[in-house]
Structure 1
Amino acid sequence: MGTSGMDPDGRSFLGDSVNDTNPEDDSVVSNDFSTSLGALILSLVFVLGVPGNLFIVWSILARIRRRSVTTLLILNLACADGFIMALTIFFIVYLAKQTWVFGHPMCKCLFYLCNANMYASIFLITLMSVHRMVVMLWPQRLSQRITRKTVRWVILGMWGLVMVISVPSLVFRDVREDSDEKNKTRLVCAPEHSLARYVRFQYALESVCGFILPYAVIITSYVLILRRLRQTKFRRKVRSEKLILAIVVTFGLFWLPYHVVNMIQVAAEWYPMDSPTREILDHIQKSSRAVTSAFAFISSCANPILYTFAGKSYIKRNGFAFMAKLFEGTSDQAGNKKSRMKGKNSSGQNAESVNTSTQNGTAEVS
């Protein structure tokens, strides 16, 4: 970020020394309270998130033979979340020491991987929502064409896109020295933007592609899903929609502060260097960046908790297999499907058969 206003001695109002070649002279690790709180949040996230997501991956790979489309998406989401949770140990050390000790390559790679996993998480959640919409609105047409093979190719393409649009975090990130008001020098892994437009480009790209556009698709999908649910009497479908909706809402709540700070940072770049408004905006984003970034990590450990609550009815009967039972969904209904269809065909209730097909198509996570 650009500097805030300068006093006559050539120091910023926030107390950091001026670097004429690098306007981003105020470090997010210069705030003791923010970094301490961020380190505490990340420690809790690491303890809960790593085993929780590993358990989800194990449940799907070891316990489920026939994986539905939703299950494949949840598996990828758990892998992305689990991987980013494993990286938190580096950021805990960074915030605790308030200096970067892992070198230049790790600085670039770790933040690149975090950025990539941020995109992957929201894109996977978006795919879940779009898939639910398709099988709800067109159960007899498009839903039959959405095979697991097709979904695998879509997921592979998504990961390729994620790796490409995360490149700015790899390019505009490096280790530099930073001095505080006590002339104490620390190493910080921070963005390095030579021009203001690069700041606007990177953080606007993150928020638009990683939050605003995906959420617009998600909201549209769920509006159509809810409209469809009101038109059918098979209310058992609502349970799977509620689970995915809970994932969507949880992700949004935890990532919204991060993207608000991004927009504040982008807005600050439109003001002159000596503008009081810019100084205020700079102060807000620099003092809150560590906390909002750590807060965003919580979303990656929240999903295992959501799944546990959703599958609590299976825990007593299935023990550690309860998560697999939750994700299997349609396997419990497979035996009853034929009997339902026979009964309805014999009585000539064709319209109800169509609705039953809709139910089975949408109950992958029941």
Structure 2
Amino acid sequence: MPSGNFSNCSRPSDFQHTLYAITYTAIFIPGLLANSVALWVLRSFITKKNKAIIFMINLATADLAHVLSLPLRIYYYINHSWPFKHFACLLCFYLKYLNMYASIIFLTLISVQRCVFTANPFKAKDWKRRYDVGISICVWLVVGTACLPFPIYRSSGGNNSTSCFADLGNNQINMITMSSMLIFAELFGFLVPMTVITYTSLKTSAQLKMDSLQCVNKREKKKALRLVITCACVFFICFTPYHITFFFYIMVSSNAIRNCTAQKIILTLHPISISLASINCCLNPIMYYFTASEFQSEMARRGNSMIRGRLMSKESASSF
């Protein structure tokens, strides 16, 4: 959420520029490579309707969109100046929150689908790929619309403004509108997904413990449990700190919290939580690799094919 109109005792610490520059620089190359490779490999499994592949592809796409905007963020936090159009600033700002909430929803959908299909294999057989496609389109429409207030309520600034991102001010909005935005974001962007992900993790774990079927099914359930738990870990590591500090940050920006010490603590924790939220761009590809045996096999197969191709090229060149 935007930086607020703070009192003199609670101006955001200068360290946030350095923190953001270091964080975004550290995750840019790994995030770009990992998500590009993930999309390259995941497309091979697009016909697998019971493996949450469509949701994983959308998750990787959301991560890649945010990663591609990072160079502009890095430039700003290093140079402390925005020489580009104001629209580009708001677009990058929008993509960050679009990535965050699209990631939350797709992580939730992956957890739910794996949990349901593990408990009811016959539902997996009857499930159509177009259902996942339709759900994904609805997610993008809903999340894309819901994230519009984030850039809309930023200071207009105009194209002549040299400030962007954390240094933008707020447009004035009334307390009812701000409270509605806060409740909506916290409830549907955090509390509901957290409840669902926690439930599916516990449910899948309970299914594995009660499993009395043959060993093959146990292995499938263990893989499903590993994926669901990994989704939960990514969710709690990346998004829980942000949404906890988000509530108090809004209280500070609206001057509902006036104590200087409390304001400084909150404004110090908030940039750290935003940095943690951005790390999901690197953690999600790790989830694909370590939780999907098919992903590992395909990576190995493609790697071997590339090595063989290079060896054949060298042999052909040496024969002349």
Aligned mates of 2:288, 2:99 — CA distance in 1: 20
Q: Give the secondary-structure state (helix, strand or coil) at the position aligned to 2:47.
A: coil
Please list, as runs of the form range in 1=range in 2, the aligned pairs for 1:264-283 lying within 5 A after superposition: 264-268=248-252, 276-277=258-259, 279-283=260-264
Aligned mates of 1:245, 1:150 — CA distance in 2: 24
Aligned mates of 1:283, 1:186 — CA distance in 2: 25
Aligned partner of 1:229 in structure 2 is 208
CA drift at 1:32: 2.9
Choose the corresponding residue for 2:303, options 312, 320, 331.
320
Q: Give the secondary-structure state (helix, strand or coil) at the position aligned to 1:13.
A: helix
Change (3 A) 1:3 1:192: closer
Q: Which amino acid aligns with 1:13?
A: C
- Structure whose CA Rg is larger: 1
CA drift at 1:243: 2.6
Change (3 A) 1:201 1:320: farther
Q: CA RMSD in A?
A: 2.9
Question: Any unmatched runs of 5+ in structure 1?
Answer: 6-11, 15-25, 178-184, 323-366
> Which moved further from structure 2: 93-102 or 83-92?
93-102
Aligned mates of 1:298, 1:127 — CA distance in 2: 20
Which TM-score applies when normalising by structure 2?
0.79
Choose the corresponding residue for 1:87, options 48, 64, 69.
69
Aligned partner of 1:118 in structure 2 is 100
8 Å contact from structure 1 (residues 255, 296) kept in 2? yes
CA drift at 1:68: 2.9
Q: Which amino acid aligns with 2:287?
A: L
Change (3 A) 1:212 1:316: closer
Which TM-score applies when normalising by structure 1?
0.70
Aligned partner of 1:348 in structure 2 is none
8 Å contact from structure 2 (residues 59, 106) kept in 1? yes
Choose the corresponding residue for 2:240, options 230, 246, 256.
256
Change (3 A) 1:90 1:307: same
Question: Any unmatched runs of 5+ in structure 2?
Answer: 306-320
Aligned residues: 290
8 Å contact from structure 1 (residues 107, 173) kept in 2? no
Deviations along 1:97-149, one digit per CA (max 9) or x if unpaired, are: 22333232122222122211211111111111111222133333x43442111
8 Å contact from structure 2 (residues 21, 78) kept in 1? yes
**Greater share of helix:** 2
Change (3 A) 1:285 1:88: farther
Aligned mates of 2:71, 2:299 — CA distance in 1: 34
CA drift at 1:262: 0.5
8 Å contact from structure 2 (residues 41, 299) kept in 1? no
Please list, as runs of the form range in 1=range in 2, the aligned pairs for 1:20-59 lying within 5 A after superposition: 26=11, 28=12, 31-59=13-41
Change (3 A) 1:131 1:254: same
CA drift at 1:281: 3.8
| Matching of residue 303 in structure 1 with residue 284 in structure 2 | yes
Q: Which amino acid aligns with 2:137?
A: L
Choose the corresponding residue for 1:240, options 224, 229, 232.
224
Choose the corresponding residue for 1:13, options 9, 15, 26.
9
8 Å contact from structure 1 (residues 39, 92) kept in 2? yes
Aligned partner of 1:326 in structure 2 is none
Aligned mates of 2:82, 2:246 — CA distance in 1: 22
Q: Give the secondary-structure state (helix, strand or coil) at the position aligned to 2:83.
A: coil
Aligned partner of 2:173 in structure 1 is 195
